[in-house]
Amino acid sequence: MNATDPAAEPGPAPQPRTDDERTLLVKVFGKDRPGITAGLFATLAEYGVDVIDIEQVVTRGRITLCALVTPPSGQASEGGLRVTVHRWAEELKLQAEIISGTGDNRPRREGRSHVTVLGHPLTAAAVAALAGLVSEAGGNIDRVFRLAKYPVTAVELAVSGLPTEQLRARLAPEASALGVDIAVVGAGLHRRAKRLVVMDVDSTLIQDEVIELFAAHAGCEAEVAEVTAAAMRGELDFAESLRARVSLLAGLDAAVVEKVRAEVRLTPGARTLIRTLKRLGYQVAIVSGGFTQVTDHLVEQLGLDYAAANTLEVADGRFTGRVTGEIVDRAGKARWLARFAEQAGVPLAQTVAIGDGANDLDMLNAAGLGVAFNAKPVVREAAHTAVNVPFLDTVLYLLGITRDEVEAADALDGSVTD
């Protein structure tokens, strides 16, 4: 049953407003200061009007306040209302406009999506091109608002009129040419209900490839880097390349684990992303083709809920050149995503996966939203969405969380953003 079905509610069923009923659109524009909204509605209240809609935005300190109201009732006249509103506006040095008409907005069309656009910078040309693509595809932009001004400019467009998949197929391929990142997700409650985020580690949560850090201590950095690059491009089977690289570490003193842990550099925005997700009640996991010797430390440091990685085998205080247990490879990462989702009690459709490499592709495709983070082209092209700015917290904007909400939450408990 539809939640708004009047039959489900006690009492008389509300009657929808008809399109031919007279309405007044009152628009006020000018320098913002406290009391404008209170003042306008106090003025309108003198005429006994009812409010149908209110939209208010402030852009560079200028307020645009629109009120859609019923015409004056009783003895009050529309002419009187006009004079009073204009007089009030003049006193506050605001511009006011009152437009007579009928009805309300047309109902939003079916096929509703949220389009998040991240730019660094966001050019007018990119906005023009994207808005043009939406209208050519038969869609309409119903609302636009800013999600963030830092570290990127992020806006969200509410689009209706065509299926989400079709809209994504039109916009996503244009993103890199326009110098923006675009995420297109279906509108609806499920968007707010995503409750598990699973991240790759190397070159996603952290800026490093952990095996290369170990290799530097073993003096085989160049050989390892070469194999890693080929594996990430999808040219080599990940499990085989992992075994080949790990074998180069045979004999290395396992005490280097402490040094490697200290060398790991978190990606900018990683702490902000995790802290904010945790506050919002998300569970956060990492899944890595790297090693538990490092991921265990990250779990502790960042307060993560779940982790899966390979373990470097140690005998007599030295690496044997082998890994133990089930190898976390491309298929393994997708398996762990499903396991974590089950443990967290979250349907796969409500999961978000983030990764940069070819071995993340199965996981990105299996998740409800797969985000390619500064990824190799093969990954970028296959994922639902791509982020190409080097700030991990921009993923929050794809989930519809604004910078203001992030900062307000930080201010509330006195922590700082990174």
The verdict on whether omega for the bond into residue 6 sits within 30 degrees of 0, i.e. cis, is no
Interhelix angle 210-218/238-247, rounded to 10 degrees, is: 30
Distance of CA 102 to the CA centre of its chain: 38
- Cβ-based neighbours of 85, under 8 Å, separated by 6 or more: 26, 40, 43, 44, 96, 98
Pairing mode of beta strands 95-102, 22-31: antiparallel
The minimum distance between CB 355 and Mg ion, in angstroms, equals 6
The minimum distance between CB 286 and Mg ion, in angstroms, equals 11
Q: E-assigned strands of 301-378?
A: 306-315, 318-324, 351-355, 369-373
User: How many residues sit in the footprint of Mg ion (CB under 5 A)?
Assistant: 6
* Complex with Mg ion: residue 164 or 267, whichever CB lies closer: 267
Helix, strand, or coil here: 38? helix
Q: Which of residues 57-96 bind Mg ion (CB under 5 A)?
A: none
* Complex with Mg ion: residue 32 or 202, whichever CB lies closer: 202
The minimum distance between CB 196 and Mg ion, in angstroms, equals 19
Q: Are 67 and 26 in contact (CB under 8 A)?
A: yes
Q: Write the DSSP assignment of 115-126 as a string of letters.
A: EEEEETT--HHH
Q: Which of residues 355-394 bind Mg ion (CB under 5 A)?
A: 356-357
Pairing mode of beta strands 351-355, 140-148: unpaired
C-alpha span between 121 and 107 (Å, rounded): 34
Our answer to whether residue 253 is catalytic in this structure is no
Q: Of residues 32, 202, 329, 362, which has the active-site annotation?
A: 202
List the one residue out of 185, 305, 1 whose CA is nearest residue 295.
305
Q: Are 253 and 318 in contact (CB under 8 A)?
A: yes
Given CA atoms 291, 364, 398, 412 in this order, what sign does their dihedral have?
Answer: negative
CA atoms within 13 A on the CB side of 313: 14
List the one residue out of 274, 94, 109 whose CA is nearest residue 197.
274
Both tokens of 246, joined, read 């790990």
Question: Which region, judged by CB under 5 A, interacts with Mg ion, from 5-13, 14-22, 124-132, 349-357?
Answer: 349-357
Q: Are 320 and 302 in contact (CB under 8 A)?
A: no
* Complex with Mg ion: residue 67 or 367, whichever CB lies closer: 367
The minimum distance between CB 204 and Mg ion, in angstroms, equals 5
The minimum distance between CB 27 and Mg ion, in angstroms, equals 50
Our answer to whether residue 305 is catalytic in this structure is no
The minimum distance between CB 369 and Mg ion, in angstroms, equals 18
Q: Which of residues 186-215 bind Mg ion (CB under 5 A)?
A: 200, 202-204
Q: Please count the residues of the chain.
A: 418
* Complex with Mg ion: residue 156 or 362, whichever CB lies closer: 362
* Complex with Mg ion: residue 32 or 200, whichever CB lies closer: 200
**Exposed/middle/buried for residue 36 (C-beta within 10 Å: 0-12, 13-18, 19+):** buried
How would you classify residue 417: left for phi > 0, otherwise alpha for psi between -120 and 50, otherwise beta?
A: beta
* Complex with Mg ion: residue 256 or 353, whichever CB lies closer: 353
* Complex with Mg ion: residue 357 or 368, whichever CB lies closer: 357
Helix, strand, or coil here: 209? coil
List the one residue out of 330, 343, 350, 255 whose CA is nearest residue 289.
330
The minimum distance between CB 202 and Mg ion, in angstroms, equals 4
The minimum distance between CB 290 and Mg ion, in angstroms, equals 8
Q: Of residues 32, 181, 200, 329, which has the active-site annotation?
A: 200
Question: Which region, judged by CB under 5 A, interacts with Mg ion, from 33-41, 61-69, 94-102, 350-358?
Answer: 350-358
Per CB under 5 A, residues contacting Mg ion are: 200, 202-204, 356-357
Where in the sequence numbering do the catalytic residues fall? 200, 202
